[in-house]
Structure formats: structure tokens, C-alpha cells
Amino acid sequence: MKHLVVIPTYNEYDNIQKIVREIFNLYENISILIVDDSSPDNTAEAVKSMQAEYKNLYLLIQEKKGGLAKAYINGFKWGINNGFELFTTCDADFSHNPRYIKDAIELINKGFDVASGSRYMQGGGTDEKHWFRNLTSVGGNIYARLILGRKFIDWTEGFNTYTKSALDKINLDSIKVRGFIFGAEMKYKAVKNGLKTAEFPIYFEVRKKGASKFDADILFEAFFNIIKIKTGL
């Protein structure tokens, strides 16, 4: 299957070239699409400078800052229109180590439609040291499992792989959540549509360069979006 890694970016100049090289060093038969949210720090220019070296590196620039969900949805649609059959969502800041992509591929090859990274299953973890972020992450997942069910151990982790047929059944145009919790809605609709899902353990690493996008507004938004996902509002 033609495999596309979709990486949304906003001010990731310090990380983008390194993550691209890392993925291509690990996987020969893979493509990368960078969906840049009009970064003012020249992230897009850094990607363009690598395209002559990597023929499977693509760039999609969103004219207006549209956020994470829009970037992924536009990336998926671009990939579908260009004949890709497998899609992995990945952060640009190395919090998702590309070495775990092979674990997702193994599950897809076993017949699963969706393969999701999990920090909270056996073998997973994080190097996050900040007590508040750990508390909100663990608490947020407990809350999500209470509302959305126990099909996933880690509802909020954003390192996920989908087949094209899974995206078709999920229906990208039906996705309503626009924040980082968008991945939870994708998983919930995968379950509701009877898709075969599985999790694999990952170790989540805190970014070393660049500014974190996490803030109190994101936490507040996530709390209400979990209910929105459940009720379909």
C-alpha cells in the first residue's frame, strides 16, 4: 500500500528537516506530506529546500491558520486524491518517534483498519516531568474512557495510522472537533463504524526544540469536545 505520513506544522523550523530525514532514513517506501499552517518562521521554505533531495516529500500550505484538525483532514484528502492507501499522523517535534511507524504497519498487515499509539498500555510511557501536564494527560484519558468507552486505552494520543477504507467509513466531512482532540473523534467514529482497531505501546517524548502548543485553552476545549464527540453535536 502507498503510505503517506502526514505532519502538520506551525513554527517548526528547528525540527522539520530533522524529522523528515529521520523518517526517510528508516523507511524507503514511504512518502511525507507536510501541511504547514502558514508558519511565519519559514518552516515551509525549509521543506522546499529538501524536495530536490527527497522526491517523496510533499508540501501543502494552508493560507490561513486553520489548526490541527483542518491540517490533518486536508492532508488526508490530498493523499486520497493522489492515490495513497495508508495514512499515519505524526508530530514534527519528535514526540512521536518515527521508529514506531513499523509497529503500526505490522498491525495493518494483520488486518486492522486503525492502529494507534498508546502511552498508557504496557510497554508505553512518557518522559514528561511537569506534574500538571502529566495530571491533565492521565486525567483526560480517564475522563475520555468514561465518556467514550474503553475500546481505547489512550484516546488522546495523536500518533495513529488509518487505511483509506477506514477514512472513507469514518467520513472526514463529518468530523466536527477542530482541536487536538480531533484524533479521539476519529477513533470514536472508527469504533462506531465497526472498524477493526488496535493499540501498540509508544514512549512519548517531550519536545526538545520549539514552543509547546499546549495551554489552558486547549485543556478547556478538550473537556467539552469529548462530550461533543459522544453526543454528535
- Specify the CATH number for the domain of residue 206: 3.90.550.10
Answer yes or no: are the C-beta atoms of 115 and 183 closer than 8 Å: no
Instruction: Determine if the pTM surpasses 0.75.
Output: yes
Rounded Cα distance, 177 and 22, in Å: 30
Environment class of residue 233 by beta-carbon count within 10 Å: exposed (0-12), middle (13-18) or buried (19+)?
Answer: exposed
Write out pLDDT tens, residues 182-224.
Answer: 899 999 999 999 999 999 999 988 756 555 555 445 555 667 7
Name the region of 181 (left: φ>0; alpha: ψ -120 to 50; beta: rest).
alpha
Number of C-beta neighbours around residue 227 at 10 A: 12
Residues of the chain with pLDDT under 70: 128-136, 207-222, 233
Domain encompassing residue 147: 3-231
Split into its structural domains, the chain has a count of 1
Per-residue pLDDT at 230: 81
Per-residue pLDDT at 131: 55
